[in-house]
Structure 1
């Protein structure tokens, strides 16, 4: 499986590929959407092709064209698929953004990238309006799901547009997606992915790991705005001629199981947190998932007990996989291979992954080191936008350094050991401590603080903040709630510290730098020690 020939063409546009499939299978279902109330919306491939063409024609009239950067802030909708495809058809650069982003996040992205347009759902409009005047490059504003002065309605602007649009011929090495990911210091990093990236992703991750077949219904639970949404619900499903099942509702393990039993969903891709919650449901034997034949997980390591529970009740082995915003799947338990529960799996076909030391040399089997990828691997990103220094820091000789540490066993399986830096991964979300700390110190009562990863049985880890108050006597439960709410207002809600501990001082180096590593190690020791200790 390690040998794979990609034959990446010099020009490629994913939207053109989807259009070709749609022309051959116009009546096949492309998207099935439903919400908690049971409302259902669907799009066939023919309808998706027509809708994305109307949108591409509208974009052209709005002046959005080849190379323009466009922030997309839309939730789980059938239209989301058409919005992404239409932008790719005109050759625009898609900047995925979650509807959970706050005004500061939006302002940073718009100005860092020089974005020209923003496509925003009505529910996040207020956050865009707060920084509209502070983003001089933004000139086109499109609202989805409503109408407002100063905004062009998506629903209105597509009316009367032609249902034909030939996708722009884009070079495989030019920018197609610009996703932002947290760093340990400074603002988020703009990860550049090319038009050739979806081509590669389909031939590796979608084929050997995700495993949806033409005409099958697949449910990948990631929401728009995340690199994982581009990975699976978008590229891996549409690129393989599958039907994307979309659930626009709050997570409930029982509801997920009901939906899996009700619909002919053959492939499920969910987060470890979601699988952990599903495994805890009482009376799992009540649920019959007759169609489900394949399940995979990504975002953080999945524990053996959960894999065993899903296999026992549903006859499906959850296959773990590992990748990052910067790349497609790097390591995985692949279709047809032996699944080693608790392991990240084997290096992906055609991808050279190794465990290396600080000098860039491969370490012996069984020894912990940095998980690294050959920097020429086709699954990797092109670099960080406008940030040569950060791009250079991600490399060590001929390797790209993931920031994660692991070890490789005698059979080549890789086992996750932890982050090499201060990044926090909670419920699959990647959170930089800087963003949490920056929000906390803006509170008038906070003298200084540090945010670290703290082990959690359900989420894998949570954000924990150690806070030094200007007036220590204010410490207490009410102050914890005040600070948590403060962070939620300033940055995306998933970044808020679920635990806050008030301290008199923070551990520091002789030069005054906060030693997060010391706090993190103490948290790990405290939460993983035996209960009877």
Structure 2
């Protein structure tokens, strides 16, 4: 693949890729936990997207503006994205697990003109008590809420014809927030040109999406991974996506794979681990499944062996980040090396460098780095160029992970360069959890690190020093956990809390999270032996 193949035309709107499939072809199968089912064609989805573009324009939201959306795995999620992007409006994805302060930060930092929220989640927005100068409209989805406009009512009145806005390839399409080691979340700017490059990399080189496939990527709409796979890698390739709106149960996931004859599956290592433990796994028929991919964290050998022995199915690792697309993985047609991250999606753009920006020899541990002219790399951190520069060495952007490579250019993961925690595919900044815990009346100081876990890969663990007058007790642990869930997204809460009398610090007084992380790794090894 040549570099020119990944560069979008100067005038480009990613919805034009999807318009190529405007027909009665099935775009999505949808099912919820109650067993209700829907089927949506490309024509229906595209038409509804045009209606929503009209809705936004009617409200005065135009090209160059931004909206935030918090919706679960429902058809309306696709409609919202298609409508906004067609109108040249950027989308700020939001998870339903975000809390009021998380939401207000994204609205204010991202300067969102509107927020579009599933009716059941509107309460978190209503509880925001700080001013949001940019916010002009609140739209509820799949239900009505006091003080909110109704998406259904607005759509009923909207025309179904719309001329796609003439966007430039470098116009913003997505503003996705990701955790940092310190400070507030960072707004990752992706352009329409990023989507063009992504569509020509991940679906073909990793997911192996083929004409006529049914693809199930389980990520939720609040995350960049949803944009990667359930949205772009499905609709941008003209295949059929499966959407399941319900709680995860491994038996249900296996049954859906069988019932819908899924050809491509992309889910987290945690989901694969739990499916691998299901009794009578061989009773399920997954013979239609030709590709099973995993992203978010490394797969372990035991899970890989279960799927290989039971279904003759080779699970494929993939590595990327919010700032990019798939960077490294088990690529189509390439040999699998168990334990390896795989190979770079494009050798000339992805490498391993030292702290001076020089490529390291094989076998030497260094920083996984992406050349800054890689077409599927983000543009910058919104209104925070200094945070972008901190991740740059010379002509390379650092992913934050370290690895070595062998003579055949297979990468082998060696750990984080920073203190970011990856748990069940979620990326969690320790400072976000620490900031919440420090607001509790009993907490004097704390440090949050990753602690190895056999199911989730890692869990969030907090080391806590209590204020004078407070004593550690079993009852205090769930109290602190509940407090954290209430004040930040619940997936960030510490699943383990250890009370300590002091924390390791540098001479300048900075907490050494690395020492605590190493302690947890050592404890995990001792438990295994």
Do both proteins adopt the same fold according to a TM-score greater than 0.5, normalized to the shorter chain?
yes
**Mapping of residues 90-489 of structure 1, within 5 Å:** 90-131=87-128, 134-349=131-346, 352-471=349-468, 474-489=471-486
Decide whether the 8 Å contact of 1:279 with 1:309 is kept in 2. yes
Paired with 1:376 and 1:7, the residues of 2 have a C-alpha distance of 11
Shift in Å, 1:182: 0.3
Who is 2:9 aligned against? 9
What is the CA–CA distance in structure 1 between the aligned matches of 2:422 and 2:528, rounded to whole Å? 24
Q: 1:197 to 1:350 in 2, by over 3 A?
A: farther
Moved more, 104-113 or 8-17: 8-17
Q: Distance in 2 between matches of 1:75 and 1:458?
A: 24
Shift of 1:4: 7.3
SS of the residue aligned with 1:383?
Answer: coil
Rounded Cα–Cα distance in structure 2 between residues aligned with 1:376 and 1:6: 11
The question of whether the paired residues in 1 share the 8 Å contact of 2:7 and 2:193 is answered with no
Gaps of 5+ in 2: none
Could you tell me which residue of structure 2 aligns to residue 46 of structure 1? 43
Kept after mapping to 1: 8 A contact 2:363/2:405:
yes
CA contact (8 A) 2:119 2:140 kept: yes
The alpha-carbon deviation at position 160 of structure 1 amounts to 3.1
Q: Distance in 1 between matches of 2:327 and 2:345?
A: 5
Deviation (angstroms), 1:530: 5.6
Distance 1:448 1:235 in 2: 43
Q: Judge conservation of contact 2:7–2:197 (CA < 8 Å) in 1.
A: no
Per-residue CA shift, 1:394-430, capped at 9, x if unaligned?
1001111110011101110001111110000000000
Stretch of structure 1 that moved more, 394-403 or 126-135: 126-135
- Root-mean-square deviation over aligned CA pairs: 1.4
Deviations 1:459-493 (A, max 9, x none): 01000000000147521211000000000000000
Deviation at 1:148, TM superposition (A): 2.1
Match status 1:495 vs 2:492: yes
SS in structure 2 opposite 1:250?
Answer: coil
What's the CA shift string for 1:180-238, capped at 9, x where partnerless?
Answer: 00001110000000011111011011111112223321000000110000000000010
Q: Partners in 1 of 2:144 and 2:331 — Cα distance? A: 46
Secondary structure at 1:131's aligned position in 2?
A: coil
Q: Distance in 1 between matches of 2:274 and 2:17?
A: 37
Q: Is the 8 A contact 1:76 1:246 kept in 2?
A: yes
TM-score scaled by length of structure 2: 0.98
SS in 2 for 1:468: strand
**By how many angstroms is 1:149 displaced?**
2.8
2:234 aligned counterpart, secondary structure: helix
SS of structure 2 residue aligned to 1:50: helix
Q: Is the 2:297–2:457 contact (alpha carbons within 8 Å) kept by the matching residues of 1?
A: yes
**Cα–Cα, structure 1 residues 3 and 387, in superposed 2: closer, same or farther, change >3 Å?**
closer
Hey, what's the Cα distance between the residues in 2 that align with 1:526 and 1:2? 47
Task: Point out where structure 1 has 5 or more consecutive residues left out of the alignment.
Answer: none
Corresponding position: 1:71 with 2:68: yes
Contact 1:2/1:349, CA 8 A, preserved across alignment: no
- Cα distance in 2 for partners of 1:114, 1:58 equals 19
Shift of 1:392: 0.5
Instruction: Give the total of aligned pairs.
Output: 529
Query: Which secondary structure does the structure 2 equivalent of 1:417 belong to?
Result: strand
CA contact (8 A) 1:194 1:382 kept: yes
Contact 2:351 2:369 in 1 (8 A): yes
2:19 is equivalent to residue 19 of structure 1 = yes
Q: Is the 8 A contact 2:268 2:296 kept in 1?
A: yes
For 1:216-262, what per-residue CA distance to the aligned partner results, in whole angstroms no more than 9, with x for missing partners? 21000000110000000000010000111001111111111111111
Q: What's 1:35 paired with? A: 32
Structure 1 Cα separation of the partners of residues 401 and 348 of structure 2: 17
Query: Is the alpha carbon distance of 1:494 and 1:439 closer, same or farther for their aligned partners in structure 2, counting shifts above 3 Å?
Result: same
Q: Could you give the per-residue CA deviations for residues 352-401 of structure 1, whole angstroms, max 9, x where no partner exists?
A: 21111111111111111111111111111001001111010110011111
| Cα deviation, residue 5, structure 1 | 2.8
Q: Could you tell me whether the CA contact under 8 Å between 1:301 and 1:344 is conserved in 2?
A: yes
- Asked if 1:83 is matched to 2:83, the reply is no
Q: CA deviation at 1:166?
A: 1.8
Rounded to whole Å, the distance in 2 between the matches of 1:137 and 1:96 is 17
Are the structure 2 counterparts of residues 3 and 317 from structure 1 closer, same or farther at C-alpha, using a change threshold of 3 Å?
Answer: farther
Residue 57 of structure 1 is matched in structure 2 by 54
Q: Kindly state the Cα deviation for residue 20 of structure 1 after the two structures are TM-superposed.
A: 2.7
Contact 1:213 1:241 in 2 (8 A): no
* Structure 1 residue 351, shift from structure 2 partner: 5.1
